[in-house]
């Protein structure tokens, strides 16, 4: 078994520019923060506007699940020096690995769609039609990755996305009823309605998204290879980064729910990006819409480029194909072809007529239905001694991890059963 948790390293492998740049920031922090993108903001804001603080208890459970899953992903990357796609390819049958790859592709396509929908919603707040903004953005991001200097643009997108840090301040300045916040967070007031369960699945899909686990494992593995491998002491830092990043990111997510609930809670499902922007009024006043639009644009553009790129790297790695942004199409047809198809398909679907906010939520529900499949693969890998040796899940940790995966799967199953029931009953 190949191990990287030692003083020596593994043979060098091709590094992805996005992963290499992000790794400097801390893989755990970046991976968890990726959930606070266009789909995440829309989902959390809808939770606050429709159900006020009732979804906070769900988010508390989702936070536990995210901490567990991100820690397992980080441990897999650190101890094996490989990403999830490589491990799935090596440890499972060809058909099973192909099934996992298809799930990842569908989940990440859904994420790309939501990011382009977020770009469209951001530009519409500035008075620019999405039918103009989305195609231009798709071509610009594609050309930026294939022909341009992606690194500096990536940093710029991150700076724009920092605007969403205003939500914790807005949660305080919105003067919510902190007694209700504490009660609904610690004492579950769960609903059984289709709308409640569907939104709960969307919260799972946007918070524990497969892209985050892919990134976490790959970035940790890349950092370990670059530093010559992890020692037991240095892995403690990686573990703290994974756990801390998950907790901090979800605290911000919960602040979005609180801020939205305090300003527009009880008004029903979110119908527009402008409604979500209103939650920032305690911080920015009349500039709330512009602040929200800037943050939404930065977060969406970043993920719209990184997710298809990371997906293309993963699939090309699994197939043993050439993968590098410095290559031309004839040199890396699979890698650049997958990237191009994901960007094009994501932008095209985001252009379909309909409410962009509803599209964002639908894509998170799709991710929520696929997430349990990927989590099962992670759980199985984290229990295989052939993969992790003595670093496999401990008994107590495994009990918590199995419970989390089972609950996420149960939520997804309930949504499917409700949908089938509604079809059978008919109008």
Tokens of 37: 């993108």
Q: What is the pLDDT of residues 197-250, one digit of tens each?
A: 889 999 998 888 888 888 788 778 777 765 666 777 778 888 888 898 889 889
Instruction: Decide if pLDDT at 19 tops 50.
Output: no
41-45, 132-136, 351-355, 368-372: range with highest mean pLDDT: 132-136
Nearest of 379, 75, 84 to residue 241 by alpha carbon? 75
Mean pLDDT (the chain) is 83
Q: CA-to-CA distance for 215 and 13, rounded, in angstroms? A: 16
Q: What distance, in Å, lies between the first and last C-alpha atoms of the chain? A: 57
What mean pLDDT do residues 306-330 have? 76
Nearest of 103, 115, 34 to residue 360 by alpha carbon? 115
Tokens of 100: 């996992």
Neighbours of 344 (CB within 10 A): 16
Neighbours of 384 (CB within 10 A): 15
- The third-level CATH classification (topology) of the domain covering 26-425 is Amino acid/polyamine transporter I (1.20.1740)
**Structure confidence at residue 10 as a pLDDT band (50, 70, 90):** very low
Which pTM value belongs to this model?
A: 0.85
Using alpha carbons only, give the angle 364, 187, 251 rounded to the nearest 5 degrees: 50
What per-residue confidence (pLDDT) applies to 21?
46
What per-residue confidence (pLDDT) applies to 237?
84
What mean pLDDT do residues 405-413 have? 89
Q: CA-to-CA distance for 176 and 170, rounded, in angstroms? A: 10
Name the one residue in this structure whose structure tokens are 């519409």. 124
Domain boundaries, the chain: 26-425
Mean pLDDT lowest for which of 63-67, 121-125, 308-312?
308-312
H/E run at residue 73 = helix 56-80
Q: CA-to-CA distance for 207 and 199, rounded, in angstroms? A: 12
What per-residue confidence (pLDDT) applies to 323?
67
What mean pLDDT do residues 107-114 have? 90
Secondary structure of the chain: what % helix, strand, coil (to 5)?
A: 80, 0, 20
Instruction: Report the percent of the chain where pLDDT is more than 90.
Output: 36
**Structure confidence at residue 341 as a pLDDT band (50, 70, 90):** very high
H/E run at residue 5 = none
Q: What is the pLDDT of residues 250-296, one digit of tens each?
A: 998 999 999 999 999 988 888 888 888 888 988 888 889 999 999 88
Q: What is the pLDDT of residues 180-201, one digit of tens each?
A: 999 999 988 777 788 898 899 9
């Amino acid at each position: 078994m190949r191990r990287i948790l030692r003083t020596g390293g593994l043979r060098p492998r091709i590094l992805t520019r996005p992963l290499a740049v992000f790794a400097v920031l801390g893989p755990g922090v970046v991976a968890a923060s990726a959930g606070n993108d266009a789909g995440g903001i829309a989902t959390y804001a809808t939770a606050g506007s429709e159900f006020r603080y009732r979804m906070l208890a769900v988010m508390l459970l989702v936070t536990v699940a995210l901490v567990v899953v991100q820690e397992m992903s980080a441990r897999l990357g650190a101890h094996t020096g490989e990403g999830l796609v490589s491990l799935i390819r090596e440890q499972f049958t060809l058909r099973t690995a192909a099934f996992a790859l298809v799930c990842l592709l569908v989940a990440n396509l859904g994420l790309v769609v939501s990011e382009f929908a977020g770009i469209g919603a951001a530009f519409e707040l500035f008075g620019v039609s999405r039918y103009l903004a989305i195609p231009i953005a798709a071509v610009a991001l594609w050309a930026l990755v294939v022909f341009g200097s992606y690194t500096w643009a990536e940093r710029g997108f991150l700076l724009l996305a920092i605007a969403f840090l205003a939500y914790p301040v807005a949660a305080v300045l919105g003067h919510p009823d902190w007694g209700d916040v504490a009660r609904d967070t610690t004492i579950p007031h769960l609903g059984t309605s289709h709308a409640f369960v569907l939104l709960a699945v969307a919260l799972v899909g946007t918070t524990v998204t497969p892209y985050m686990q892919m990134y976490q494992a790959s970035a940790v593995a890349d950092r370990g290879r670059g530093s010559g491998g992890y020692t037991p002491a240095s892995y403690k830092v990686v573990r703290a980064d994974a756990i801390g990043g998950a907790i901090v990111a979800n605290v911000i997510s919960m602040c979005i729910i609180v801020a939205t609930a305090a300003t527009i809670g009880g008004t029903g499902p979110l119908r527009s990006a402008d409604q979500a922007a209103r939650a920032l009024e305690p911080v920015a006043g009349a500039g709330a819409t512009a602040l929200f639009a800037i943050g939404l644009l930065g977060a969406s553009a970043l993920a719209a480029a990184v997710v298809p790129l990371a997906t293309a790297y993963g699939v090309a790695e699994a197939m043993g194909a050439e993968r590098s942004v410095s290559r031309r199409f004839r040199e890396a047809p699979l890698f650049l072809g997958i990237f191009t198809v994901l960007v094009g398909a994501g932008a095209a679907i985001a252009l379909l007529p309909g409410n962009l906010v509803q599209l964002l939520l639908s894509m998170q529900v799709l991710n929520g239905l696929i997430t349990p499949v990927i989590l099962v693969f992670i759980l199985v890998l984290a229990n295989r001694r052939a993969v992790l040796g003595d670093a496999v899940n401990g008994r107590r940790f495994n009990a918590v991890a199995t419970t989390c995966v089972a609950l996420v799967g149960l939520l997804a199953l309930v949504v499917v059963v409700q949908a089938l029931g509604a079809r059978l009953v008919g109008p």
